[in-house]
């Protein structure tokens, strides 16, 4: 998958399965619900069922059309998920005695608006790793302290690329006109995988650059990169592992606006304090591009799609994130290492696990 870890510890060979006992994800809503309004809000728990599968069952029970349901994000089939669903209040009676072996309605309330995609702060995860010996558990606890302080690269997870890891190749073929995909939903899915692939390549390259700045002297770095000496000095002096470059497009973290990095020294300090974060390009039309050195590295990765860039809707994504409220508990008798942590929306728990254990593709 062409991703470079930023930490340098040896792999920890743990066992993880995404099932309803060992993997639980709970949505963190973007806002509190008002308790009044024309929309019924259902807090639901599902297991071993996709969000679409759950909504299909709700549709059959209530008679509501799928498009009438609101949700903040689509959740995977594997594991247990707690999420919020909205539907017009007129369908409320259909859910009063609802019962299903894979779905449980935990709470209900009301709100003025339909829940829309992206209307969440993030997700809270519970993960149980098995076959963990005491030495590995101690290593993970130490690594977690580093990740809590320094964060980690916000790669797209392997789920984005399919079981064979080649969804992005199909997306590129569609854009080049070599492959026809009549299903609009699947077409967009494959194209999105291609954008994600380019993002991961770019981010891995930037992690590599940061590693080099972390390891070599200013003189050696000048020979490697041929940047102006003053720029080498400014980048080398940055306190965070991930090094910002001139022309970086930054974003207030975790919410706020995007802006151009014009003062490398000042913004690197704010980045180190978790107040802002750099962003990476999801190539396509209407996406804002970085400038200067940062822009050059974006262009190196995205030049292959210049001929069909206008066929994709572009945007930007956090390059570096921090997990919040990290908790861990080691149960030596069972050889279980249990984790709780919260990630911003759109980020992958498996990416967090991969950086922690240096295992790929859980």
DSSP letters, 214-246, are HHS-HHHHHHHH---HHHHHHHHT-SSSSPP-T
Burial 125-160 (b: 16+ CB within 10 A, else e): bbbbbeebeeebbebbeebbebbeebbbbbbbbbbb
| pLDDT exceeds cutoff 70 at 10 | yes
- What pLDDT does 139 receive? 97
Q: Which fold has domain 31-118?
A: Pseudouridine synthase (3.30.2350)
Which of the four pLDDT bands, split at 50, 70 and 90, describes residue 74? confident
Residue in this structure with the two tokens 């509190």, named with its chain if needed: 32
- Find out whether 111 and 34 touch, Cβ atoms under 8 Å: yes
Tokens read off for 175:
């854009």
Specify the range with the lowest mean pLDDT, choosing from 112-116, 181-185, 250-254, 337-341. Answer: 181-185
Residues 194 and 178: their CA atoms lie apart, in Å, by 15
The predicted pLDDT at position 161 comes to 87
Q: Nearest to residue 150, comparing CAs of 356, 301, 313, 358? A: 356
Q: Which of 76, 78, 148, 214 is catalytic?
A: 76
pLDDT for 1 beyond 80: no
Split at pLDDT 50, 70, 90, the class of 218 is: very high
- Rounded to two decimals, what is the model's pTM? 0.91
Residues 358 and 341: their CA atoms lie apart, in Å, by: 18
Full DSSP string of 186-214: HHHHHHHHHHHHHHHHHHHHHHHHHHHHH
Residue 112 has pLDDT above 70, yes or no: yes
Residues listed for the chain:
362
Domain range summary for the chain, segments of one domain joined by +: 31-118, 153-321
Q: What residues pair up with 278 in beta bridges, in sequence order? A: 250
Question: What would the pLDDT profile of 288-345 be if each residue is shown by its tens digit?
Answer: 999 999 999 999 999 999 999 999 999 999 999 999 999 999 999 999 999 999 999 9
Residue 316 CA to residue 25 CA, distance in Å, equals 25
Residue 146 — pLDDT band, cuts 50, 70, 90? Answer: very high
Judged by average pLDDT, the poorest of 88-92, 98-102, 117-121, 172-176 is 117-121
For residues 51-70, average pLDDT:
95
pLDDT tens per residue across span 317-332 = 999 999 999 999 999 9
- What per-residue confidence (pLDDT) applies to 355? 96
Query: What pLDDT sits at residue 312?
Result: 95
Does 130 score more than 60 pLDDT? Answer: yes
Look-up of token digits 């080649």: 166
Q: Is domain 153-321 in CATH 1.10.3210.50, yes or no?
A: no
- Over residues 155-166, the mean pLDDT reads 86
Respond yes or no: is residue 76 known to be catalytic. Answer: yes
The model's confidence at residue 16, banded by pLDDT at 50, 70 and 90, is: very high
């Amino acid at each position: 998958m062409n991703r470079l870890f930023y930490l340098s510890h040896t792999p920890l060979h743990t066992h993880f399965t995404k099932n309803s006992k060992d993997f639980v994800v709970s949505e963190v809503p973007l806002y509190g619900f008002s308790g009044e309004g024309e929309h019924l809000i259902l807090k639901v728990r599902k297991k071993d069922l996709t969000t679409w599968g759950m909504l299909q069952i709700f549709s059959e029970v209530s008679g509501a059309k799928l498009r009438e349901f609101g949700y903040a994000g689509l959740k995977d089939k594997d594991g247990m998920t707690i999420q919020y669903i909205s539907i017009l209040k007129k369908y409320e009676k259909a859910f009063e005695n609802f019962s299903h072996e894979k779905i449980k309605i935990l709470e209900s309330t009301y709100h003025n608006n339909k829940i829309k995609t992206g209307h969440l702060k993030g997700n809270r995860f519970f993960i149980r790793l098995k076959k963990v010996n005491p030495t590995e558990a101690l290593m993970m606890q130490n690594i977690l302290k580093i990740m809590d302080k320094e964060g980690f690269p916000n790669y797209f997870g392997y789920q984005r690329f399919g079981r064979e890891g080649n969804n992005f190749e199909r997306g590129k073929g569609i854009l080049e006109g070599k492959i026809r995909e009549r299903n609009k939903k699947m077409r967009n899915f494959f194209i999105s995988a291609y954008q994600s692939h380019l993002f991961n390549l770019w981010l891995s390259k930037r992690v590599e650059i940061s590693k080099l700045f972390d390891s070599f002297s200013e003189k050696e770095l000048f020979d490697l990169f041929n940047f102006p000496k003053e720029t080498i000095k400014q980048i080398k002096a940055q306190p965070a592992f991930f090094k910002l470059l001139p022309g970086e497009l930054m974003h207030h973290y975790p919410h706020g606006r995007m802006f151009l990095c014009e003062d490398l020294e000042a913004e690197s300090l704010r980045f180190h304090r978790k107040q802002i974060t750099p962003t990476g390009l999801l190539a396509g039309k209407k996406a804002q591009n970085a400038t200067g050195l940062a822009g050059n590295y974006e262009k190196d990765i995205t030049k292959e799609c210049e001929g069909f860039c206008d066929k994709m809707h572009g945007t930007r994504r956090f390059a570096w994130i921090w997990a919040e409220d990290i908790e861990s508990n080691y149960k030596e008798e069972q050889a279980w290492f249990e984790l709780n942590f919260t990630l911003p929306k759109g980020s992958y728990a498996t990416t967090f696990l991969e950086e922690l254990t240096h295992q790929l593709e859980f």
